[in-house]
Structures are given as structure tokens and as C-alpha cells.
Amino acid sequence: MTVINATTIDQVVSALREYPQARLVQGGTDVMVEVNLNRARVHDVISLRRVNELRRWHVDEESGTVRIGAGVPYAEMERAPLCLHVPALGEAARTVGAPQIRATGSLGGNLGTCSPAGDGLPVLSALDAVVHLRSADDARDVVVHDFMLGVKQNAKRADEVIVAITVPLLVGFQGYAKVGMRNAMVISAASACLVHDADNGNVRLAFGAVAPTIVRARAAEAWLAERVSLRNSLTLDGAIAREFGQLAAKECAPIDDHRSTADYRRHAVAVLAERLLLRAAEQQGRDE
């Protein structure tokens, strides 16, 4: 077992070529659990901890996007100014594990592990984020929906590293809600992210922990767009929100496990979607 402490992305991708079995480790909060619990025999490790390029983020006003380095810790997403640009990501970040986990955990790790309970992932899905990958040979961009393939399966090749994620700067409400069995430091039993893109007139909704991978509730989104004007303003009544939530829940495929039951998860996402939509309408009301 060899540990390579890279300092640049170039070093990372050339090390990946040299050690094709190597695991990439950013914060260590997933990989070290596997090592500590003897779940995986890790052979070689390329540490991204000291690759400063991965820890930067910036706003591109021209394209109206934020590019977030794959190693930016959740703790930074929770705080201003980043949480002001992407509020749903800030809310999701605040629910990730313990504060100590948020100090090192990152979107790169969330995407690399690709657990359906990853707290950042529903946000990336609802925002139609783009994942930027690099290898020694090439660089490519993959839309997050095409990146997440299944439980702990993603589209990253073994020779690639996730370098950044780009999400749009949007006008309109965005929020994240997560059900867990205690009031802090808990794995999601079900989660939801709702984004109102007021300029483009749509509402986007994604769920976590209710299917093998993140679910986009596209049928419910379309249903809502037919009934409610979503461009600029957002006005609706409680009945619409309730039906929206119930429709969206039908797009999930939850399971029974030791954290919850399929029935509860289906119910919970309906409630979360309804409440998020009501929050969106209320915020719109306040902003006007």
C-alpha cells in the first residue's frame, strides 16, 4: 500500500496512470471508514488533501454559474458567501454528519462515493449541475444525471479525478430538507431539494435516499408547470402543493431497511416536497 500526497491535479492524474488501482481520498470521511471497519482492502491511495486547486470556488458572472472545486469542504458551503450564491447547497451542507465531518467532507467525495443518501447530491441534481473530470489524457464534463449511475456507482473512469462542479446562479427560492431520526448528525432517511428557477419558469425537485440513486421528479415538475405560472412569480394554494408532493412521491422507489421503511420514505418525500413548495411560494411573497 502506497500513499501519494499530491499537490497539483497534474500530479494526481499522472499518479492515477501509474497506480490504476489507487483510491482517491479527499477528506477521508468515506474511505477511512472502509479501512477502519475492514470493509475494503485499500491498496494505493492518492491523497487530494493538499491539492489546493480543488479547494477553490468562484463565481462566473458572465455564464451565471458557480464553479466549486471538488475539495471545497461543506463547512465553507454552509457559510457566507458561498451559501448566498447556492442556498440549497448551504442548507444541505449544514446537515452533513458532524461539524468535524463538514470540515473535510466535500462534493467530490459525495460524488465519488455516490451513495443515494449523499446530502449534496439532490441539490446537484435539482440544479442540473455539471461534473468536471480530468485524466492524464483528457478532460470532460458530465451532467450530474448522467454521472450518478446507481448505488455507489458513477460514470467516473478509474483514471479520472473529479475536479469541480458547476451549478447555475438562479433567481428564485431554493431549499433542502432532510428527514433523519435525530436532530443532528444523522444519515438521511429521505431528503429533497427544490429549486425555483424564476427566470426560466420552472421548479425542479430531486429526492435522496428513496431509490438506488438520486431521483428527479420530472413528472411532478411538468405537472406543476402546467398548472402554475412559474416565470418570475410563484403563487399557489395548499391543495396544489399537496398534490405536487403526492405526485412526486410516486416517482420514488424506496426500500425498507434498518433506517426506515419504504412506506414512510414515500410518505416523507411527499411531505417534504409539499413543504418546500410552500416555502418557495412564501419566500416569493416576502420578496415581493
Partner 1 sequence: MSNEFYQLSVNGVAHEVRDAWAGESLLYVLRERLGLPGTKGACEQGECGSCTVLMDGEAVCACLVMAATAVEAEITTVEGLSSDGEPTDVQQAFVDAGGVQCGFCTPGLVVAVHHLLERTANPSELQIKEAISGNICRCTGYGRIFAAVKQARDNRLAM
Partner 2 sequence: MATTTATSRATLGTSAVRPDGMPKVQGRFAFASDVWADNMLWGATLRSPHPHARIRSIDVSGALAINGVSVVITADDVPGQLTYGLITSDQPVFARDVVRYAGEPVAAVAADHPETARRALDAIRVDYEVLSPLLDAEQAIDGSFAAIHPDGNVIRNQRVIRGDQSFVGDVIVEGSYELGMQDQAFLGLEAALALPDEDGAGVELFVATQWLHEDQKQIAACLDMPLERVRITLGGVGGAFGGREDISLQVHCCLLALVTRRPIKMQYGREESFFGHIHRHPARIVMRHHADRDGTLRRVEARAVFDGGAYASTSSAVLINAVTHMQGPYRCDIATVDGYVVRTNNPPCGAMRGFGVVQACFAHESQMDKLAVACGLSPVDIRLKNAMRTGDRLITGQIVESVAPVERCIRETAALPMPAPLLDEPDALELPGGSGLTARRSNIRRGVGWGVSIKNLMYSEGFDDYATARCRLADGVVTLQFATAEVGQGFVVLAQQIARTVLGIDTVLLEPISTAIGSAGSTSASRQTWMSGGAVDGACRLVREQLFAHVGATHDVDPLRLAIDATEVIDTMGTLRVAVADAARGLVLDETFEHHHRATEELDENGQGNCHVAFAFVAHRAVVDVDPDLGLVKVVQIATAQDVGRVLNPLAALGQVEGGIAQGLGLAVMEEIVLVNGKMRNPSFTDYLLPTALDAPEVVVTMIEEPEPQAPLGAKGIGEPPCISVTPAIVAAIRDATGKALTRVPVRPQDIVFGD
Note the residues at the interface with partner 2 (CB under 8 A): 36-38, 91, 94-95, 175-187, 189, 191, 257-261, 263-264, 267-268, 271-272, 275, 278-279
Q: Give the count of residues interacting with partner 1 (CB under 8 A).
A: 33
Q: Establish if 54 lies at the interface with partner 1 (CB under 8 A).
A: no
| Bridge partners of residue 76, in order along the sequence | none
Stretch that binds partner 1, among 42-50, 111-119, 258-266, 279-287 (CB under 8 A): 42-50
Distance of closest approach, residue 224 Cβ to partner 2, in angstroms:
19
Q: Say whether residue 104 binds partner 1 (CB under 8 A).
A: yes
Peptide bond into 81 cis (omega under 30): yes
Q: Which of partner 2, partner 1, none does 23 bind, CB closer than 5 to 8 A by kind?
A: none
> At closest approach, how far in Å is the CB of 275 from partner 2?
6
Q: Is 159 exposed, middle or buried (0-12, 13-18, 19+ CB in 10 A)?
A: middle
272 binds, among partner 1, partner 2, none (CB under 5 to 8 A by kind): partner 2
Amino acid letter, 81: P
Per partner kind, with CB cut-offs from 5 to 8 A, the member of partner 1, partner 2, none near residue 261 is partner 2
Q: Site for partner 1 (CB under 8 A): which residue of 12, 13, 16, 29?
A: 29
Rule CB under 8 A: say whether 3 interacts with partner 1. Answer: yes
In the complex, the smallest distance separating the C-beta of residue 230 from partner 1, rounded to whole angstroms, is 34
Run of H or E residues at 193: strand 190-197
- Do the Cβ atoms of 69 and 82 come closer than 8 Å? no
Q: Which residue's CB is nearer to partner 1, number 47 or number 213?
A: 47
Question: Are 203 and 280 within 8 A, CB to CB?
Answer: yes
Does position 212 bind partner 1 by CB under 8 A? no
Q: Which is nearer to partner 1, 93 or 220 (CB)?
A: 93
**Residue that the C-alpha cell 411573497 belongs to:** 285
Q: Starting at the earlier edge strand, list the strands of the sheet with 215-216.
A: 174-179, 190-197, 202-208, 215-216
User: Facing residues of 106 across strands?
Assistant: 73
CB of 160 to partner 2, least distance (A): 28
Q: Can you tell me the distance from the alpha carbon of 248 to that of 82, in angstroms, rounded to the nearest whole number?
A: 29
C-alpha closest to that of 107 among 57, 81, 149, 72 = 72
Q: Which of 8, 52, 100, 232 binds partner 1 (CB under 8 A)?
A: 100
Cβ atoms of 67 and 54 closer than 8 Å: no
Q: How far is CA 89 from CA 53, 83, 86, 157, 163, in A?
A: 20, 7, 5, 26, 18
- Cα within 13 Å of Cα(197), Cβ side: 15
Binding-residue pattern over the window 67 to 86 for partner 1, x denoting contact by CB under 8 A? --------x-----------
Closer to partner 1 by CB, 31 or 248: give it. 31
Q: Among partner 2, partner 1, none, what binds residue 42 when CB lies within 5 to 8 Å by partner kind?
A: partner 1
Residues binding partner 1 (CB under 8 A): 1-6, 11, 15, 25, 27-29, 31-33, 35-37, 42, 45, 47, 49-50, 75, 97-101, 103-104, 184-185
